[in-house]
Structure 1
Amino acid sequence: MMKKFLFKFDDYFINIFNKRIKNSYFDKIMFYSTNIGGAISSTIISITLILFGDEEIRFFGFELLVAIVFSQFFVQIFKRTLGRQRPYKVLDDINTFGIDMKDYSFPSGHTTASFCMATIISINYPQLLTFAILFAFLIGISRIYLGVHFPSDVLAGAMLGVVSAFIVHYYFQWPVQLLHNIFTMIEL
C-alpha cells in the first residue's frame, strides 16, 4: 500500500516539475541553482565563514560544517544500502539535461545539504528563515526538475537535513566547540 502511494506521489510530482513547467528560463535557473545546494558548495561556504568570519560567524561556520558532514554520512549509508536508481535511468520520457551521475538516488544529498544549512541558518539567524527555506526548496525542486531525483528522494533529503541540523545544534555541540577551540588555538 505504501509503495503504491509513493509511486503515485513520485509520478505526479515528477510530471509537474520535470515535464509541465519545463522552459528555457527554468532550465538555466535550475541547472545553476542546483549546484549551490551540493555538499561541496555547502562545505566551501562553511570553510569560508570559518576562515574569514569573526568569532560568532566562525562558530556558526563550524556548526554548519559539522551538520553537513553529519547529514551526508547518513545520506551515503542510505544510498549504498537502498541502491535506488535515478529517475533518468528507469523512466523513459524524462528530461535529463545530459546529467549522468554514478551514485544512487535515495535520498537527495543536495536537498539534505541545503535543508541542513537552511535549518542551521534559521536557528542561528531567525531573520533569514524565509530566504533560507525558500532557497532550500528551490534546490530540492531543481533536483526533480533536472531528472536526477524522484520527489520522494527530495522529501526524504529535506527531512534528513532538518533532523540532522537539529541534532547537531541541540545535542551534538561538542565537535563544533572542539573544532572551534582547535582553530582558535592554531590561529593565535
Structure 2
Amino acid sequence: MKNFLKRFDEIFIDLINGKMSNRFLDKFMYRFTDLGGAIFNSVIACSFLLLGDRSIRLLGLEALGSLGLSQLIVQALKRGLGRERPYKILENLHTFGINMKDYSFPSGHTTASFSLATIIGLNIPRVWILVVFLALIVGISRVYLAVHYPTDVVAGMMLGIGCSLIVHFQLLKIIEDIGIFIGII
C-alpha cells in the first residue's frame, strides 16, 4: 500500500505541478488557493449568519461546526504525523516562493473547502456541483503550488466531507439548539 501511495503522489505531482504548468495557471492557482484558507471560509460561514434568513443562519452555524471539527483534526494530524511539504523534499518542482511553517498532511485548505462545499451542497442542492468543483480546484491548486502531495489533498477531501456528514446527520440538532439558545436562530 505504501508503494501505491508513493507512486500515486509521484504521478499526480508530476502531472499537476510539472506538465500542467503554464503562466496563466501560475497566476490563477496562486490566487485561487486562498479560497481554501481559514479566513475566506470563516468569512463565508459568518456571512450566512449575518445575512441570511433562519435556514441560512443555521447553515452558517453548521458550516462553522464542520469547519471547526475538521480543522481540529487537521491540526492534530499535522502535528502528530509531521510530514514535510513536497517543496522541501522533492527536487525539480515548480515552486512559488511559498514558505509554510506547518506540516503537509492533510491539506487544511482542501479540508476546509470540502467541508464548506459539502455543507452548502447538503443544504442547497442546486449549487452542489459548483461548490464541489470550486473545492476541487482549491485542492488541485495546493499540489500545483507544490505545498501538498496529492495524497494530502485526497485525505483533506475525505476529512472535509466526513466531518460535514457527521455534523449534518449527527450534530445538527445540537447545533440548532445552541443557535436558538444564543439567539442566532
TM-score when normalising by structure 1: 0.94
Given the alignment of the two structures, is residue 97 of structure 1 paired with residue 89 of structure 2, yes or no? Answer: no
- AA partner of residue 176 (structure 2): Q
Deviations 1:24-54 (A, max 9, x none): 1111111111101122211111111111212
Q: Helix, strand or coil: the match of 1:172? A: helix
- AA partner of residue 123 (structure 2): N
Query: 1:101-140 residue pairs with structure 2 within 5 A?
Result: 101-140=100-139
Q: Any conservation in 2 of the 1:114–1:139 contact (CA below 8 Å)? A: yes
How much does 1:174 deviate?
4.2
How much does 1:9 deviate?
0.4
Q: Helix, strand or coil: the match of 2:95? A: coil
Number of residue pairs aligned between Structure 1 and Structure 2: 185
With 93-102 and 174-183 compared, the bigger mean Cα shift is at 174-183
Query: 1:38-57 residue pairs with structure 2 within 5 A?
Result: 38-57=37-56
Q: Could you tell me which residue of structure 2 aligns to residue 63 of structure 1?
A: 62
CA distance in 2, matches of 1:50, 1:68: 14
Identical pairs, percent: 46
- AA partner of residue 5 (structure 1): F
Structure 2 gaps of 5+ residues are none
Q: Any conservation in 2 of the 1:64–1:117 contact (CA below 8 Å)? A: yes
- AA partner of residue 134 (structure 2): F
CA distance in 1, matches of 2:26, 2:178: 39
Q: Helix, strand or coil: the match of 1:105? A: coil
CA distance in 2, matches of 1:36, 1:15: 24
Q: Any conservation in 2 of the 1:62–1:179 contact (CA below 8 Å)? A: no
Q: Could you tell me which residue of structure 1 aligns to residue 162 of structure 2?
A: 163
Structure 1 gaps of 5+ residues are none
With 155-164 and 37-46 compared, the bigger mean Cα shift is at 37-46
Q: Could you tell me which residue of structure 2 aligns to residue 82 of structure 1?
A: 81
How much does 1:183 deviate?
3.9
Q: Any conservation in 2 of the 1:66–1:175 contact (CA below 8 Å)? A: no
Query: 1:16-27 residue pairs with structure 2 within 5 A?
Result: 16-27=15-26
Q: Could you tell me which residue of structure 1 aligns to residue 147 of structure 2?
A: 148
Deviations 1:80-122 (A, max 9, x none): 1100000000011111101000000000000001111111111
CA distance in 2, matches of 1:176, 1:35: 28
Deviations 1:125-163 (A, max 9, x none): 111111011101100000000000000000000000000
Give me the CA root mean square deviation.
1.3
